[in-house]
Amino acid sequence: MTIIDTKNAPGAIGPYSQGFVVGDLVITSGQLPVDPATGTMPEGIAAQAEWSCKNVGAILEAAGSGLDKVVKTTCFLANMSDFAAFNEVYAKYFTSKPARSCVAVKDLPKGALCEIEAIAEK
């Protein structure tokens, strides 16, 4: 088991890691739409979805994997009315169409509109 730690994605805001490599799998923690260089979060679901996808990709890359090797994602939306706009961005990044769950939640950390976690092959 190896902890993933990259400066190319936001650091954890609690007692957890960005992800783990376990055997031939890479498991990421949920990624908020935070620009790791500035620590800021953009406005709007499309811009936020972009950053969440980029951050998942950065963690996977640090682990020797990639978005094309994702087999499962779990997506969290603050408002299900953002589903279509979120899907538009998500589809550009997760082109292999991994298995997915997408749920609306009451709140996300830092007031984010979305969060994505992933499981990928190494």
Angle between helices 45-62 and 83-93 (to 10 degrees): 30
Distance CA 53, CA 100 (A): 14
Its pTM surpasses 0.85:
yes
Q: How many CB atoms are closer than 10 A to CB 40?
A: 10
Q: CA 102 from chain center: how many Å?
A: 12
Share of the chain above pLDDT 70, in %: 100
pLDDT tens digits, residue range 35-78? 999 999 999 999 999 999 999 999 999 999 999 999 999 999 99
Catalytic-role residue among 53, 75, 102, 114: 102
Residue 102 appears among annotated catalytic residues: yes
Q: Which CATH architecture has domain 2-121?
A: 2-Layer Sandwich (3.30)
**Domain residue spans of the chain:** 2-121
